[in-house]
Amino acid sequence: MARARRFVATARATAPAPAPALSRLARLRHPATASVVLLACSLGSFGALCLLQGVPMADALVYRAAGAAVLSGADLYGFTVTEWGLPATYPPFAALLFVPTTWLAPGALKVAFVAGNVALLAALVRLSGRLAGRPAPLPAVCAATALALWLEPVFQTVLFGQINLALACLVLWDLTRPGARCRGAALGIAAGVKLTPAVFIVYLLLRGRRREAATAAAAFAGTVLLGALLLPAASVDFWTRRIFETGRVGKAWIVDNQSLQGLVARVLGEPSPGLAWALPTAVVAGAGLWLARRATSERRGILLAAFTALLVSPISWSHHWVWCLPLIAVLYAEGHPRQAAATAAVFTARTLWLLPHQGDLDLQLSWWQQPPTSPYPLLALLVLVQLSVRSSSASMIR
């Protein structure tokens, strides 16, 4: 595991910034041509970095092993793979979806995950524009995709072969199609793959959208039922035991974990902060969902729900924070370009990887090292406060 973290830190530190290309592209006459060139340069740089550093894509290999366990009838939660001994941690329904990954050799699977995640990133850019009320034309989507690839959560999602972009796209697509039939179904499926999106079911209930919440809950229940029918033993194991083993996912106190629990553990130097984490988490959960319920616009409510979920989840690895992209889009669309740029800078700076973090060093940080090792939860708390203030101001004006 330490080797994996050293690889991530090296890759982050050596990641080339796309900024130098901007001055040359600015001289091109056609925006469409400039955006395509920028995207090609960004993808080429990413590909070159992957070739130079080597790409473990450990998570993609775990998904492949989970799919293989389904086909072979092996214990879904009894295996570990890769040199870091990683286990399966998602519900049985997710393992069913991972079966097609077994059709590809590991090398081909890595290529497929990179290509798929880049396509999903472009889709998330478009959905973020739709959420912000600024539908983006194709040249703008290409340019934004080129730059967004270097946001640390996005970069790490692609590097590890993660599914965060797919889940964010499912949720945003479902919540930004007003009046559509079966609205909420995609959200329920996303929750069935990885439990965190279930917070949006609560969000729909709090906003008084009971039919959509019921559809989402039914879709989620359907994923659980399908998993129980096809993988009964794994379903019993997961829903009665594995779901409560947060330590199985990883060490909550390492800098990789950008949730409130990770922040509190590092501040206190305590790997199991207990009530010191549980109490503020309960307060943040209640406050965040209350603010989401009272939000003056759908876009703010969705962002408040998303960042509340990331904060209160026991573990929110840095690559879970791909919701930074919709946040940047909304800030820019609402007339706050400086805040949008500052947010982009926070999620590009990779400060959490710049300090020594081998062994238990993450529990021995000095006071001045705490903010750079917990940039995402600190920014999310600021977002909750800021959006609540703006919503209150808008209500007073009305």
Q: Is the pLDDT of residue 154 over 80?
A: yes
Q: Is the pLDDT of residue 159 over 90?
A: yes
> Residues 308-335: pLDDT tens digits?
999 999 999 999 999 999 999 999 999 9
Query: Which phi and psi angles does 257 have, rounded to 5°?
Result: -85, 110
Q: Is the pLDDT of residue 204 over 70?
A: yes
Average pLDDT, the chain: 89
CB atoms closer than 10 angstroms to residue 29: 6
Least confident of 185-194, 201-210, 304-313, 384-393: 384-393
Compare 220 and 383 and report the one with higher pLDDT. 220
CA distance 224 to 162: 22
Q: Is the pLDDT of residue 122 over 70?
A: yes
Confidence of residue 360 (pLDDT cuts 50, 70, 90): confident
Q: What pLDDT is recorded for position 5?
A: 54
* 215, amino acid identity: T
Q: What pLDDT is recorded for position 391?
A: 61
Is residue 133 helix, strand or coil? Answer: coil
Q: Is the pLDDT of residue 393 over 70?
A: no
Q: What pLDDT is recorded for position 265?
A: 95
Q: Report the pLDDT averaged over residues 50-67.
A: 89
Only one residue has tokens 């060490």, namely 251
Q: What pLDDT is recorded for position 394?
A: 55
Confidence of residue 19 (pLDDT cuts 50, 70, 90): very low
Q: What pLDDT is recorded for position 397?
A: 45
Q: What pLDDT is recorded for position 2?
A: 46
Q: Is the pLDDT of residue 21 over 90?
A: no
Question: Nearest-CA neighbor of 326 among 305, 312, 311?
Answer: 305
Q: Give how far the C-alpha of residue 74 lies from the chain's centroid of Cα atoms, to the nearest Å.
A: 29
Q: What is the pTM of this model?
A: 0.90
Q: What pLDDT is recorded for position 22?
A: 47
Query: Which phi and psi angles does 204 have, rounded to 5°?
Result: -65, -40
Question: How many CA atoms within 13 Å lie on the side-chain side of 184?
Answer: 24
Question: Nearest-CA neighbor of 114 among 165, 73, 159, 146?
Answer: 159
CA distance 215 to 182: 7
Compute, in degrees rounded to 10, the torsion defined by CA atoms 199, 200, 201, 206: 100
Only one residue has tokens 């920014």, namely 379
Q: Give how far the C-alpha of residue 215 lies from the chain's centroid of Cα atoms, to the nearest Å.
A: 24
Question: Nearest-CA neighbor of 323 among 388, 398, 258, 238?
Answer: 258
Take residue 367 and report the two structure tokens written for it.
């006071």
CA distance 278 to 252: 13
> Residues 257-275: pLDDT tens digits?
999 999 999 999 999 999 9
Q: Report the pLDDT averaged over residues 167-172.
A: 98
Query: Which phi and psi angles does 317 have, rounded to 5°?
Result: -55, 155
Compare 63 and 35 and report the one with higher pLDDT. 63
Q: Report the pLDDT averaged over residues 246-250.
A: 84
CA distance 130 to 171: 13
Q: Report the pLDDT averaged over residues 182-186.
A: 93
Confidence of residue 25 (pLDDT cuts 50, 70, 90): very low
Q: Is the pLDDT of residue 48 over 60?
A: yes
In DSSP notation, 143-168 reads HHHHHHTTSHHHHHHHHHT--HHHHH
CA distance 205 to 209: 6
> Residues 108-120: pLDDT tens digits?
999 999 999 999 9
* 394, amino acid identity: A
* 149, amino acid identity: L
Angle at 229 between CA 200 and CA 195, to 5 degrees: 20
Q: What pLDDT is recorded for position 11?
A: 52
Q: Is the torsion defined by CA of 324, 381, 318, 246 positive or negative?
A: negative
Q: What pLDDT is recorded for position 29?
A: 55
Q: What pLDDT is recorded for position 356?
A: 75
Q: What pLDDT is recorded for position 3?
A: 46
Confidence of residue 392 (pLDDT cuts 50, 70, 90): low
Name the β-bridge partners of 333: none
Q: What pLDDT is recorded for position 4?
A: 52
